[in-house]
Chain A
Amino acid sequence: MGKILEIESVYAGYNNDVVLNDVSLEIFDDDFIGIIGPNGGGKTTLLNVILGLIKPFKGSVRFFDDIQSERNNKIGYLPQINKIDKKFPITVKEVVLTGLIYGSKGIFKRYTKSEKTKATETLKRIGICDIKDTAIGELSGGQMQKVLLARALVSSPRLLILDEPNTFVDNQFEGELYEILKELNNEMAIIIVSHDLGTISSYVKTIACVNRNLHYHKSNKISEEQLASYNCPIKLITHGEVPHTVLHKHPH
Chain B
Amino acid sequence: MISELLEYKFIVNSLLAGILASVSCGIIGTYIVTRRMVFLSGGITHSSFGGIGIGYYLGFNPIIFAAIFGVFSALGIEFISKRSNIREDSVIGILWSFGMAVGIMFVFLTPGYAPNLMSYLFGSILTVSNLDIYLMFGLSIVLILVFAFFYRTIVFISYDQEFARTHKIAVSLINYLLIGLVALTIVLNIKVVGIILVISLLTIPQSIANLFTKNFRNIIIVSIVIGLIGAFLGLIISYKINIPSGASIIFSLVMIFLIAKSFQLIQGNLSLKKQKI
Contacts and interface: CB of A to CB of B under 8 A. Distances in A.
Interface of A: 15, 51-53, 70, 73, 75, 77, 79, 83-85, 88-91, 94-95, 97-99, 101-104, 106-111, 135, 137, 151
Interface in B152-183: 152-153, 155-156, 158-160, 162-170
B167 A73 contact: yes
A43 to B, nearest CB: 16
Contact of A53 (B34, B165, B215, B216): B165
B13 interface: no
A85 B159 contact: yes
B153 A107 contact: yes
A106 B162 contact: no
Contacts of B214: 89-91, 135, 137
Contacts, number: 83
9 contacts: A51-B166, A53-B165, A85-B34, A89-B215, A98-B163, A101-B169, A102-B167, A135-B214, A137-B214
A109 B213 CA distance: 25
Given A53-B166, A103-B169, A84 B213 contact: no
Closest 7 CB pairs of A and B: A135-B214, A98-B156, A51-B166, A89-B214, A103-B168, A107-B153, A102-B167
Interface in B18-73: 34, 36
Interface of B: 34, 36, 85, 149-150, 152-153, 155-156, 158-160, 162-170, 210, 213-216, 219
A106 B216 contact: no
B215 A91 contact: yes
Contacts of A110: 152
A89 B213 contact: yes
A77 B210 CA distance: 29
B166 A89 contact: no
Given A75-B166, A89-B210, A108-B149, 18 more contacts: A53-B165, A73-B167, A73-B168, A90-B155, A90-B214, A90-B215, A90-B216, A97-B152, A98-B155, A98-B160, A102-B167, A103-B167, A104-B168, A104-B169, A106-B153, A107-B169, A109-B152, A111-B152
B214 to A, nearest CB: 3
A146 to B, nearest CB: 16
A145 B163 CA distance: 14
Contacts of B167: 73, 99, 101-103, 106
